[in-house]
Structure 1
Amino acid sequence: MMGSHSVLVFSLLLISSVIFVSSFDTSFADKVIGVSTGFEDSTILELKNNRGNTASIDTVRIWLSGENEFKSFKTENGWMGKNTPQGVIVFTSQTEIDPGQSVKFGIKTIENNPVINWKALDSKGEIISSASTTVTKSEISENKPELNQPKIVTIKESSNFRFIPEKPASNSYFRVVGEDFVPNQSLDFYIANELKESVKVDSDGKILFTSKLPAILNDERTEFVLRDSGGNEKTLSIRIPQLENREIADVIKLSLGNTPQEAKRGDVITLDGMATPNTTLTITSKDNNGNILAIDTIQVRFDGKWTYDNLISPELDLGMISIEIDDGKGKALRNVEVISAKLINISGTETSIEAGESITFEGTAIPNQEMSIIIEDAINTEIFSRTVSVGESGLVNFNVEIPRGSVEGTYILSAFQGNESGITTFGVGQEPEPILIVRPTKLNFASDEMINVEIQGPVNSQVAIILIDSADREKLSDTLNLGPDGKEVYKIKSNDLPNGSFTLNAKRGESSGSAVFTIGLTTGSGAISIQTTRDDYKQGEQILILGSTGAINVLLDITISDSNGKIIKKIETFSDRFGVFKVDNFRIPLDATVGKWNVNAKSGGNFKDVEFSVSGENNELQIFTDKSNYNTNELLNISGSGARLSATVTIKIFDSEGIKIDELNITAKSNGEYLTMWQIPADLESGEYEMTADDGASNTSTKFTIS
């Protein structure tokens, strides 16, 4: 015996497993779809009246198979239920369920996972559809749905969808692409009132799926509908041309040629391959979380070949992306690693060395352009600087010897070519520790300009930011999350700050870094005074330049030139609120030319020069062999001196007719000396040979004979 049955909302403990089982079908069996969800003894039966149906549901009858019995039931608002002595529950309503709508009934049974038999009838009592449903799987769900919960709205006013190709052909596959739907909800897709697909919206509100158009016998206008559970719809109506009796091109399996394993931001990757002629391909790019980045379509040529230029967006996050090619029948997939677009990428072949040892650096840089190298030790003192020649290939390889007695810790190598720069770290006496490198994109920013400060540190780490002014007053504090490459640009609105100089401090655990920038400073300093703390320096020594300006808070350009007038370094700086400036971050290169050097300080139309002397050894490049006469297949010892410090020395051997026999490349020591061996080929003819040495700045030669 059942008690009274109210129409109040009640919550069932349910699962998310959904099945559809047809048993004794009628001729109308596809007009209504039955779906059941359940947990333990509770089940919800949902009946969906197909959009293609012409009848409305007025009455629903349900009964159980086997020895199972009903314990209780609940209905949606507006429906009434009655349990008959025969074990049949009859549900009726004054509001019929029209095509495209649905209704839910909740029941509790003596046995779990019941087989529910049901009939849907119209207002005349005629059967629209009858079938049975079975709950085949039970899993606890944390979100227990309610019977009378509001209809889920998936379609918004701004939701939209389109087809690929734009006008699908009769009896062919096509892609449906949509956006701006409510994320993670479901939609039904109808073609000419026939349910074709049930799809789920992505987490970013987009949909992408494949469907097939049935054969169209006449030029018919066909309606395509996306519908959510709340009855909201988005519709497209397209006239589909009649299927022509024409020769169908040979079917070619979709293929994709070779693609690069990595690409830089802003690069263009060319994709190509084969597919069925005159068909449409859909190209979809996704990030490593599966979110769609871009969708495009192309047409396969008449000969089955296709090609597509895929742009790697300059704004794309670093990491893995996938590129999927789809012809409606098959897919081809490639993964590409998006890397930094920095033009200078250099790293050490070892992560750490001991003081007194040499470390090799290799990588890529801008071809055919000299590169300046600076190394700072663990206490931020510049210990090394030199220039490196970069050839046509852009490949870089050079050695640096760290002097004995150098402090232990993490060292920073900075490389510069024009406005481009690159940074890498290595350890001396220990493995390098995570550090923070902080650098503004320029020294001075306009008062209405966005300030960009580049910060590099451990990947995916959080950094604390503090900005202070020249009077050590805190102006802001913030946190910043570094990206998967350990790099990020911190932005500050300059119009929120007064003119002057500022220091940005970044800190993460024990690691910290800082950088200075200015806002709204101008040139025009008045009288400039400048001096070096000494008159004489040796190669490799650090110099200190001090000065003052007649006006405070002004910009200056400091230019340092060697004894030949060649500009060695340009430094942007400024005078502080007391009119004082200093330059303490320049070290004379180890391979510097000796003689009188010049420092020029300039601000607008004001300038001042000061000179200092650079002394040290300035030996010419030399090459030697251990003797003057050799036999074939003998080892020849080569030595030399006077090379640019740690430079690559190229040695070439020529015969008497000037034909090159062999070429060797070795790296000079920090004192300019070099040493190697060459085995004379056994088939070399007797005669006089010449050997040349070139360190990129000068060259020399010597001769020897083979008997």
Structure 2
Amino acid sequence: MNNQVFTVLGIFVISIFSAATLANAETSVKSSAFEKTTLVEFTNNDSSPIQSVKMWLGKDGSTFQTFKSEKGWVGQKTSQGVLVFSTAEPLKIGQSVKFGLKTDIEKPSINWRTIDASGKEISSGKVTPNQISNIITKPNSQSSSSQSNNKQGTENTKSGGFDNAVFRIIPENPKGGDDIRVIGDGFPPSTYLDFLVNDSKVQDFKTDNTGHLVGRTKIPITLETGRIDLTLADNQGHKKTVSIRISESQPIVQTTKRLTINQVTGLAEPGQTISVNGTGRPDSSIKITVKDPLGIKMFETVVKADSRGSWSYQTTIPLDAPLGSRQVDISDGVETITKTISVSVSNTIKIFASSITYAPGEKLVFNGTAKSEKTVQVTINDPIGKEIFSEIITPDNSGSFNFEYQTTQSSPKGTYAVFATQGESNYVLRIGLGGLPTPQIIAKIDKLNYQSDDKVKLTIQGAPKSSASVLIIDPSDKVKTTETVTMGLDGANTREISLSGFKSGIYTIVAKQPQSQTKITFSVGLQTVSGTIKAQTTKNAYLPGEGILVLGSTDPNTILNLELTDPDGKISKRKDIFSDKTGKFSDGTFRVPTDAKQGNWILKVKSGVKFIDAGFTVSGTIEKTFTIKLDKTEAYHAGDHMSITGTGADKSNTIIIQILDPNNVKIQELQTRSTNEGSFDTLWTIPTDKQSGKYTIKAVSGQVNAEASFDIQ
């Protein structure tokens, strides 16, 4: 009895050993599934390490939803729905790897293929959950033909040198018109073979010096659905035939598209949002690379084309982006289109302050650039939004201009907003008095008086990407509208406000943020004066640089225009205002220019055909002393940046500045130019090799000079 048991067990063990030995000749693939989740395990029993694994579903319309791989393996899904897993450390003989897959159907059959490091196929097959994988053997052994897919049965005719030859096609079940790969082994080496479909030659191939064959061809589209014979034959009459069944051909839908892009802007500014779009291959990846003029990559992103091949991308140029040209390469991996974009500032007007912060009592000094020979309107608002300075300036032939504003010890501390306007171009600068400036909210409108069918162009500036509440208060002090706006990356938001339904009167726009708010008034439908205008200045005589306050009365809610003219009749400044609901008006934003001509000046107040002249005289001059000033009183150190400013110099004159060491030896000479107000500023970087001691600065302007000293520690 026991001998019989041992005999049976011996036969069973031998059977297992034989099966295992056979399995070791192929890749072992096992699959298990629960509902729509499938686990596939590959064990490498082949002679070559596995570098990558491909898996795809059948032609029943099912698709992979998600997938996971073990550590060290990276997976991706191609546009054709094929999963490709690869690794930097190939799967060695005897090792295994598992992949988790989720599909849109339960317990799917999965086609698979393993590939070595050279890209050569190792083996392929089809696995169904809880069943043994149907392996298509590598065509390098005699047993492979007997284990091949039963749909590709083979036969030899006049075999001769084809006794050990096998071949197969990929895909296994082609349709008429499909491209196929023909892979064979065991054929005579270096031999030309004809590829026949139902005994009609469609292609010829040549084997390599080992008898291996790889080729591509196409199944004729004219073939009817059914079984066909595929044959490889030499000129000696030796043949190897595979019989397959082809399915019905589907209408061919042309999906391939060339890479194209629509028009791309060639010029952009920091803070501007730009976009690009075009077409490419459906579901393909479009790579956008931006390079500087030296070819160094600055930015790269990838966008996905949709199922129709359309793609688009939008981005905002950073506010601190360097100016200059950019090379933009747009590629789909096959074609590359190159465009050039230039980043520059197109604003025609800019202003610069001699310092970002001032102390109360100091003079604010500004320089600017704009279009030449076209007037620039300059205004300054104090920290509560009140206009304290306004002037019309004509730039010189080079487009340069400058202006100054004298603060007092009682001037309110905080952030001052400086506005410059020339035509449609605007520029805003913030400076601090008694401290650094903060991103205070600022509001500007395009004009003062509107009609009910007009639109108000409102520009709000604050911190980039910040939000602000905007309210409009009507003439009866009730809230007319309210909304929340968001600043762009440049800190600005420009919008148009329709005045439909606004009755005649004076309105107030309030823009506010948690730490800041500003108000600005405008009028709708105001008429000109029909009665009389009364107006006068608070003084009969002024000195250059003094502010002017004008007071008056006229009809309620009427529009008025103020013009300041010099003794030669030249307009120095003009401004629109309006009277309140009681008919009163006032303005304190005018001032006598610092270089004002002595004589009789006129501040004209007019509305329609009505006007009145408020006259005054300008006499005397302001004594100016040529002085220079440094940006700090404490000692400097080697490598520090020193700001040198001066006032009282000759107007529009060259200033020569000499730096003398402790031995009174000149070590540096600088040159700058004074403004038409006689002020100047420049920077000097203290050399790193300068020794400690007291140094002297001498500045010369024409026949006058000034000195200042400083210490280096």
Quick one: higher RCO (CA 8 Å, sep 6+), 1 or 2?
1
| TM-score between the two structures when normalised by the length of structure 1 | 0.49
Instruction: Choose 1 or 2 for highest CA Rg.
Output: 2
| TM-score between the two structures when normalised by the length of structure 2 | 0.49
